[in-house]
Amino acid sequence: MRTVKELRLAGLFAYLAALVLGLLFSYLLHSLLGGGGRLGWESFNFTGLLEGLGFLLFFTFALYVAKKAVRVPCTTLLTAGLLWPTPARRLARPLPRVEALEAYEGRGVALLVQEGRPVGLLGLSDHILPLEEVPSVEAEVAVSELSPLFLRQPLVLVVKGEEVVGAISREAFFRYLGA
C-alpha cells in the first residue's frame, strides 16, 4: 500500500516525464520539418501548428501511459502531485470501545479492549475476530489503494502504530469513490 506522499511523488515524476517526452517529440518534428515552425504570441504558421499538435498528442499519450504504469489517480497526475488523494485517516470513523463482552449491545461493529489494548472486533461475525484477522492499514495510506482489501472484507481498520484510529466500511469506501 502506497502512502499519499509516495503517490504525490509518482504523479509529479510521471507528469514531468510526459512533459519532457512531449517536448522532445515536438523538437523532433521541428527538426524534421526544417526548423521553420512558429507557434507563438506574435505569429504562427502551418508548420508551427503541426509541432504544437504533435506536442499535444504525444504529451496526452505519454500521460495515458504514465497513468497506467504508476497507477496514480487522475487528479494527482494532471496536477503534478499538487492535489493528492485522501489519506485513510480522513475517511476512517472511530469505533466504539467495549471493555467487556457483557457491555456489547449487539448493534454495529465495536472494538474489544482489554487492559487498554485492542484485542478483537465484535459485530462482523458471530464470534470475536482477533485484530490479526482484520485487514489494517496505516493512517497515511491513500484511500485509492484500498480497493483490493474491500474485495474480501467488509471493513478495514486504520491504525497509527499500535493505536486503532478507526475503521472504513465497504459502503463508505464505495461512496467515496462515487459508486
pLDDT, one tens digit per residue, over 122-144 is 877 767 788 888 888 999 999 98
Report, as an integer, the average pLDDT of 20-43: 83
Report, as an integer, the average pLDDT of 138-159: 89
Going by pLDDT thresholds of 50, 70 and 90, the confidence category of residue 48 is confident
Domains and CATH numbers, the chain: 4-78 (no CATH), 88-177 (3.10.580.10)
* Lowest pLDDT segment from 61-70, 101-110, 134-143: 101-110
* Lowest pLDDT segment from 50-54, 63-67, 133-137, 175-179: 175-179
Burial code of 97-134, b = ≥16 C-beta within 10 A, e = fewer?
Answer: ebeeeeebeeeebbbbbeeeebebbbbbeeebbebeeb
Q: State the pLDDT at residue 97.
A: 83
| Of 174, 141, 178, nearest in space to 157 by CA | 141
Distant-in-sequence, close-in-space partners of 67: CB < 8 Å, separation ≥ 6:
14, 74, 77
Percent of the chain with pLDDT over 70: 93
> Greater confidence, 10 or 132?
10
Torsion of CA 143, 144, 145, 150, to 10 degrees: 80
Q: Is a pLDDT exceeding 70 seen at residue 41?
A: no
Contact of 153 with 171, CB cutoff 8 Å: no
Burial code of 41-80, b = ≥16 C-beta within 10 A, e = fewer?
Answer: eeeeeebbebbbebbeebbeebbeebbeebebbeebbeeb
Q: In the structure grid, which three cell numbers stand for residue 1, read together?
A: 500500500
